[in-house]
């Protein structure tokens, strides 16, 4: 184990892949590995979220190029929506950052959003820590903003970038206002569309009206396919890093939220889901059926 850990800490890509497999499969020794990870603050964890079709993967692709130009290393976890509802059909046109798959300074991994037990998979939290140990400068966690992942991701990432496209309609504006709550940075992609300027202006007014604690959510115009606005987005990421730097309160809350999710996973892992279902099936049509009495015995 200590050999694997040493190689992981030295940035060895095969050791990284093996460590991630160990954690994903809960193979013997995986908890020991996680408990041996040193505290390392170097990796910036950036959540990239937004509705399908906003161009998140294309934007991540462009950000990877910008980071490589700086001589830095970057990892990506692409989170696929999964159980209990299958949004797979939405992913048809997802671009898989194919440009960078063979670059030694880039590590890309797909993961399912949910574990068997529901909720954002705790495996994503654990794999993120493995990647941090390997010393990457950036870790992007990309989620499709349908359902809950766009909210939950905000509990993991240092900085959450919400990617939207310019659109008309008051209702869309209202939905965007909801996303404003989780966005540290707004990227308005496909900003060469008609009426993009008006859209950006409205978002900026909204961001200004909601500025808090020294941070006004910047609204960055990008055209990811043509690499436009990507440096401005990198600068916004840098500015947000400086803003949250030394914010011990925020850091402790994020860590507590993460610990909470991991504890929940471990506590519920002992509950035999199949036995629970079998018991409910056997009893549910009886006259004396009461779910709360079953729940008490599993609690």
Q: Which of residues 78-107 bind its own copies (CB under 8 A)?
A: 84-87, 89-90
3-state SS, 85-154, equals CCCHHHHCCCCCCHHHCCCCCEEEEEEECECCCCCECHHHHHHHHHHHHCCCCEEEEEECCCCCHHHHHH
User: Of these, 11, 53, 115, 135, which contacts its own copies (CB under 8 A)?
Assistant: 53
Residue whose C-alpha is closest to residue 151's, from 162, 140, 138:
162
User: Of these, 118, 192, 216, 247, which contacts its own copies (CB under 8 A)?
Assistant: 118
42 binds its own copies (CB under 8 A): no
User: Of these, 24, 103, 167, 227, which contacts its own copies (CB under 8 A)?
Assistant: 167
256 binds its own copies (CB under 8 A): yes
Of the two residues 84 and 104, which places its CB atom closer to its own copies in the complex? 84
User: Strand 159-164 vs strand 44-49: parallel, antiparallel, or unpaired?
Assistant: parallel
Of the two residues 2 and 299, which places its CB atom closer to its own copies in the complex? 299
Of the two residues 52 and 135, which places its CB atom closer to its own copies in the complex? 52
| First-residue to last-residue Cα distance in the chain | 35
24 binds its own copies (CB under 8 A): no
User: Of these, 4, 9, 13, 37, which contacts its own copies (CB under 8 A)?
Assistant: 37
Question: Which positions from 264 through 283 interact with its own copies, judged by CB under 8 A?
Answer: 264, 266-268, 271, 273, 276-277, 280-281
CB 59 within 8 A of CB 187: yes
β-bridge mates for residue 220, sequence order: 187
The number of residues that bind its own copies (CB under 8 A) is: 77
Of the two residues 86 and 102, which places its CB atom closer to its own copies in the complex? 86
* Most distant CA atoms of the chain, gap in Å: 69
Question: Which positions from 136 through 155 interact with its own copies, judged by CB under 8 A?
Answer: 146-148, 150-152, 154-155
CB 156 within 8 A of CB 45: yes
Of the two residues 74 and 157, which places its CB atom closer to its own copies in the complex? 157
Q: How far is the CB of 108 from its own copies (least distance, A)?
A: 24
3-state secondary structure of 82: coil
Q: How far is the CB of 12 from its own copies (least distance, A)?
A: 21
Of the two residues 27 and 253, which places its CB atom closer to its own copies in the complex? 253
Tokens of residue 201, six digits: 């202006």
DSSP H helical segments within the chain, as ranges?
A: 2-9, 13-24, 30-36, 56-69, 122-133, 149-152, 170-180, 196-209, 230-244, 248-269, 273-283, 291-298
Of the two residues 137 and 257, which places its CB atom closer to its own copies in the complex? 257
Question: Which positions from 191 through 230 interact with its own copies, judged by CB under 8 A?
Answer: none
């Amino acid at each position: 184990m200590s050999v694997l850990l040493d190689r992981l800490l030295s940035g060895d890509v095969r050791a990284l892949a093996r460590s991630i497999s160990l954690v994903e499969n809960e193979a013997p020794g995986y908890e020991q590995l996680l408990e041996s990870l040193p505290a390392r603050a170097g990796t910036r964890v950036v959540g990239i979220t937004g509705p399908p079709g906003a161009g998140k993967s294309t934007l991540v692709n462009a950000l990877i190029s910008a980071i490589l130009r700086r001589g830095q290393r970057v990892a990506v976890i692409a989170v696929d929506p999964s159980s209990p509802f299958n949004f797979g059909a939405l992913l048809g046109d997802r671009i898989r950052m194919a440009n960078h798959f063979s670059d030694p300074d880039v590590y890309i991994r797909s993961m399912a959003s949910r574990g068997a037990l529901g909720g954002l998979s705790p495996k994503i939290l654990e794999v993120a820590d493995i990647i941090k140990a390997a010393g990457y400068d950036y870790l992007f966690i990309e989620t499709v903003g349908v359902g809950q992942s766009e909210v939950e991701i905000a509990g993991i990432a240092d900085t959450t970038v919400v990617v939207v496209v310019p659109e008309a309609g008051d209702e869309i504006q209202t939905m965007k206002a909801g996303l404003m709550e989780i966005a540290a940075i707004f990227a308005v992609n496909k900003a060469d569309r008609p009426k993009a300027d008006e859209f950006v202006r409205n978002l900026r007014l909204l961001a200004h009206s909601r500025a808090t604690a020294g941070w006004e959510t910047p609204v960055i115009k990008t055209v990811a396919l043509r690499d436009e606005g990507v440096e401005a987005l990198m600068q916004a990421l840098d500015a947000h890093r400086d803003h949250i730097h030394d914010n011990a309160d925020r850091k402790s809350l994020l860590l507590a939220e993460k610990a909470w999710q991991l504890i929940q996973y471990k506590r519920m892992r002992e509950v035999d889901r199949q036995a629970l279902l079998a018991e409910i099936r056997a009893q549910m049509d009886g006259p004396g059926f009461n779910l709360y009495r079953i729940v008490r015995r599993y609690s």
